[in-house]
Amino acid sequence: MAEEINPDDLEIADELIAERRSADPDNLPDDMPPWMACTIYVIDKMSLWVGRLVCWLLVPMCLAMVYEVVARKFFVAPTMWAYDISRMLYGALFVLGAGYALMRGVHIRADFLYRNWSPRTQGMVDAALYLLFYFPGLLVFLWMSIDYAWTAIERGERGMDTAWMPYMGPIKSALPIGIILLLIQGVSEFLKSIYALTRGRWPI
Kindly tell me if the per-residue pLDDT of 13 is higher than 70.
no
Predicted TM-score of the model (pTM) = 0.85
107-150 pLDDT, tens digit per residue, is 777 777 888 899 999 999 999 999 999 999 999 999 999 999 99
pLDDT: which is higher, 196 or 24: 196
pLDDT reported for residue 114: 84
- How far apart, in whole angstroms, are the C-alpha atoms of residue 64 and residue 86? 7
pLDDT digits (tens, 9 = 90+) for 71-105: 999 998 889 899 899 999 999 999 999 999 999 88
SS3 99: helix
| Structure confidence at residue 41 as a pLDDT band (50, 70, 90) | very high
pLDDT at 19 over 90: no
Greater confidence (105 vs 173) lies with 173
Q: What local confidence, expressed as pLDDT, does residue 3 receive?
A: 54
Q: Is the pLDDT of residue 163 over 90?
A: no
Q: Which residue has the higher pLDDT, 46 or 116?
A: 46
Residue 130: the pLDDT is 97
Instruction: Report the mean per-residue pLDDT for the chain.
Output: 88
**Which segments of 76-134 does DSSP mark as H helices, in order?**
82-96, 98-104, 119-129
Q: What is the pLDDT of residue 166?
A: 92
Between CA 110 and CA 113 the distance in angstroms is: 8
DSSP conformational letter for 4: P
Burial class, 118, CB count within 10 angstroms (exposed 0-12 / middle 13-18 / buried 19+): exposed
Contact 51, 97 (CB under 8 A): yes
pLDDT exceeds 60 at position 175: yes
Alpha helices in the chain (DSSP H): 13-19, 34-54, 58-75, 82-96, 98-104, 119-129, 135-154, 169-199
CA distance 170 to 27: 37
pLDDT surpasses 60 at 165: yes
